[in-house]
Amino acid sequence: MEQKFTGFKCKSCGRVMYPKHDRCLDCKGTEFEEVELGEDATLLTYTKLYALPEGIEMPPLVLGIVKFPGGVRAMGQLTTDDPKIGMKLRPVWGKLRKMKDREIFGFKFEPLK
């Protein structure tokens, strides 16, 4: 089954959050349901990192903040070397890096065709 990027919707007030908090940022509610955030996120800002953290081989590491249609934002690696603010991206599951010989997987963001 394909993995979907999800956020957490507060069952009391409806606010959607990512990452997960144990209490809602608006109403302090404690119950959440997982909801899909969508496929077309917009790039708000980015960087190309040359001082690389452990387990990432090739500079630069391109990181950005994207905004999903409902307004929720996420930070992550971009699969393009040519990011442009405002471009559309979608979350894709893949290998993020190695940490202490362990491979870490998660969502990255890939430009929409």
List residues binding other proteins (CB under 8 A).
Answer: 17-19, 25, 44-54, 56, 60-61, 63-65, 73-77, 85, 96-97, 99, 104, 106
Asked if 40 is part of the footprint of Zn ion (rule: CB under 5 A), the reply reads: no
SS3 assignment, position 32: strand
Asked if 26 is part of the footprint of Zn ion (rule: CB under 5 A), the reply reads: yes
- As a whole number of angstroms, the distance between CA 102 and CA 105 comes to 10
Q: Is 79 left (phi over 0), alpha (psi -120 to 50) or beta?
A: alpha
Q: Which helix (H) or strand (E) holds 9?
A: strand 6-10
Q: How far is the CB of 63 from other proteins (least distance, A)?
A: 5
Q: How far is the CB of 2 from other proteins (least distance, A)?
A: 20
Q: How far is the CB of 73 from Zn ion (least distance, A)?
A: 18
Q: Which helix (H) or strand (E) holds 49?
A: strand 41-49
Point out which residues bind Zn ion (CB under 5 A): 10, 12-13, 15, 24, 26-27, 29
